[in-house]
Every structure is written in C-alpha cells, then in structure tokens.
Amino acid sequence: MSGPVTHADRFDGEFDAVLAGAQQGAAWAFERIFTALSPVVTGYLRMQGAREPDDLSSEVFVAVLRNVAGFVGDEAGFRSWVFTIAHRRLLDERRALGRRPVTAPLADDLELPAPDDVEATAERSLRTEWVRSLCDQLSPDQRDVLLLRLLGRLTVDEVATTLGKTSPAVKALQRRGFRAIGRLLSPEEVSL
C-alpha cells in the first residue's frame, strides 16, 4: 500500500509557481491546477451523488480559474477554497434538481477505459462502488465531513468553514461517521 498523499504531492512542491502563473492567466498553470485537483474534486462530487460529476467539476474549475487572481494563501488554503466552491456548486445542483443525492448505479457515470487500461478501470470502478455503497449509509452531514476530510484533505477548521458549522460539530460528525462505517464494516472482511 502506498504512503499517504500529502498536499505537496499534487503540485510536486511547485504550488507557489503554479499559483503565480495562474494568476497571470497562463494556460500551463491552469492545466496544472486542473490536472492536480480535478480528480479529487470529481471524486468528491461523484461520491456526493452529483448527477453529472464531470460537468459539475468543469463548472467548478471555470469558477476557480476565472477567479484565481484574487486568491491569497498557501496550497492548503487553495485546496480549501476549491472544495468550498465545489460544495456550493453541489448544493446549487441539488436545489435546482429539487431532490436528494442520486443513488443510481455508477455504471452510467464511470469513465470509459482506455484500450490498455480495462483491468485497472474495472478495478477502480469496483472500489468506487464499494466506497459509494458505504457512504450512502451515512447521514448527509457525516458524508460531507468524511469526504471533505479524506478526499479533500481539509482540516477540521476548513471543513467547518466550508459547511458553515463549528469545529466541535465537525469533530462530532466525523466521529459518528467513522463509527457508522465501522459498524457497517464489522460483519464483513475488507478485501483490497
């Protein structure tokens, strides 16, 4: 099993340079930001039941790239900002659709595998489906917190800001969320 992914990994330690380029409107910097963060953002949106995760992710990054000139902060703050936009976009979509998160099968939404990547894609699909089935058992607030912490790599305080909650409330939600997942996992073995 590979080691934990740190914030620096996404930009190979070059976040400051990438941010500066993006704030100048450089296409190469935009591409770096999109490449680094779009998979995690799309994964977040997919786990949250977004109807069209790829399209919604595009909307998020259009907003990010058009407004990056006004961002001030470090990589962690940038990540928090991006996920705040993603979460709000998600809420907007839910309001527009007037319904709860989609629990439809992921088959309609999975990426098409490259010809030489069928096996890897299929394995990733199975893992995604497994995670999705567990997350669907959580309350919406618990799911928000766990996904933002695990996938978004946001701190407790950043999650609190994104969700409009207090830090103690976020801690309580993540505690209850992990315990709920634990109860779901206890009667079965985890196979990787």
Partner 1 sequence: MGTTGSIDDLDIEAIIRGEPVEPDHAPLAAFAQEVRALGDGPAPRASSELAALLDNGLGPRAALRAVPTADVAERAERGVRAAAHRRPPASGRLAVLTGKVAGLGVVAKIGLGATLAAAGVAGAGAAGVLPPAANDAVRGAIEVVSPVEFNHPGTTENPATFGHRVSPDATGAADGQPGVDGPATAGDAPGTAPGQAPGQTGETGLDRAHETPAAGNVPDSVPSTVPERGRPEDAGSGQTPSSVPNTAPSTVPAGQGAQGDE
Contacting partner 1 within 108-167 (CB under 8 A): 111, 124, 127-128, 130-131, 134, 146-147, 149-151
Q: Which is nearer to partner 1, 14 or 59 (CB)?
A: 59
Kindly state the tokens that stand for 32: 């770096």
Number of Cβ atoms within 10 Å of the Cβ of 176? 16
Under 8 Å between Cβ of 56 and 89: yes
Among 12, 16, 17, 24, binds partner 1 (CB under 8 A): 24
Kindly state the tokens that stand for 111: 């990426």
Under 8 Å between Cβ of 29 and 78: no
Amino acid letter at 83?
Answer: F
Task: Evaluate the CA torsion angle 96, 44, 78, 69 in order and state its sign.
Answer: negative
CB of 98 to partner 1, least distance (A): 18
Count residues binding partner 1 (CB under 8 A).
73
Q: What is the 3-state composition of the chain as percent helix, strand, coil, each rounded to the nearest 5? A: 70, 0, 30
27 binds partner 1 (CB under 8 A): yes
Q: Report 41-70 residues binding partner 1 (CB under 8 A).
A: 42-44, 46-47, 53-55, 57-59, 61-70
38 binds partner 1 (CB under 8 A): yes
Q: Report 167-186 residues binding partner 1 (CB under 8 A).
A: 171, 174-175, 178-179, 181-183, 185-186
Q: Running DSSP on this structure, what letter comes out for residue 73? A: S
Burial 106-116 (b: 16+ CB within 10 A, else e): beebeeeeeee
Kindly state the tokens that stand for 45: 């949106």
CB of 169 to partner 1, least distance (A): 13
Using CB under 8 A as the criterion, what x/- string covers residues 68-97 for binding partner 1? xxxxxx-------x--xx--xx--x-----
17 binds partner 1 (CB under 8 A): no
CB of 35 to partner 1, least distance (A): 5
